Structure 1
């Protein structure tokens, strides 16, 4: 399967699932998907983020050799919201190595503090932070302050997730 062509064919759930089904738990195919996603161009990266996150939801261990590259990619300027959203989404399905807790937590806090960040990016960031806090309880206070500050002005989606996370970390 030519992953780039398949990614560009259409941007639907059916197509994302088709690509994820093709990759399955195959490390070589997953590496090809990651390489295609990182190489771009922009539209392939944007659309490739969805099947990438579906693969990790199904097979979390596939990400291990690629996690650092994917995290580094998020630091590039002008990253599409779909890339941030799906990367944060996939991070909630894995056990993040302790050595990357700081970097991932920093990204999550950055997304939460940005006023113009989409609700989905913030919601997934909350969940990822909640998972990290299980091993890094010192972050609990900072997350609590940020969420409580934003709750009075937040959208319903943010409010629901924030209340759930606040309950989990209490």
Structure 2
């Protein structure tokens, strides 16, 4: 498959799934997809990030090597889909302790920023909640950040926030 051409051909769920199935046929294919995800071409990145999140659903064990890249691209995403799909992947991963500090700082900043899109905040809340299970001293800080956002939040954020607050 000529991945870049395929990514640019169409933007649909069926097409993203088709690419994700191809990606998990081999680790080499997955590497090509992830290289596209972390590239500098906005449209390629957008479409690759969606396919990568679908590929993760098929072979989550193959994504451990990409944790540092997924975290790094949260800081300056080339497209909004990068944060959303990176966090969608990270929300069910076991994050190694060596990445937890940087990631929790980034997540707290994203959650506190009123400009952060609702889906990013929802996925980010879940990732933060998962990390703080290992750092209980951060529970109150996460709760404060979430509660500060509630009055202005979208319904998707409120729904997930209530579940997380109840578990804190």
Q: Into which bin does the TM-score normalised by the smaller protein fall?
A: over 0.9
Q: Which runs of 5 or more structure 2 residues have no equivalent in the other structure?
A: none
Secondary structure of 1:167 counterpart:
helix
Q: Write the distance in 1 (CA, Å) between the matches of 2:103 and 2:57.
A: 18
Aligned counterpart, 1:75: 75
CA root-mean-square deviation: 1.4
Q: TM-score, structure 2 length as denominator? A: 0.93
Q: Write the distance in 2 (CA, Å) between the matches of 1:32 and 1:80.
A: 19
Aligned length: 168
- Hey, which bits of structure 1, 4+ residues long, moved more than 4 A? none
Q: Write the distance in 2 (CA, Å) between the matches of 1:149 and 1:74.
A: 22
Q: TM-score, structure 1 length as denominator? A: 0.92
| 1:25, distance to aligned residue in structure 2 (A) | 5.5
2:40–2:78: 8 Å Cα contact kept in structure 1? Answer: no
Q: Which runs of 5 or more structure 1 residues have no equivalent in the other structure?
A: none
Aligned counterpart, 2:144: 145
Most deviating of 17-26 and 92-101: 17-26
Aligned counterpart, 2:15: 15
| 1:117, distance to aligned residue in structure 2 (A) | 1.0
1:25–1:62: 8 Å Cα contact kept in structure 2? Answer: no
- CA deviations on 1:45-73 (whole Å, 9 max, x unpaired) are 11111111111222222112222123223
Aligned counterpart, 1:56: 56
Secondary structure of 2:38 counterpart:
helix
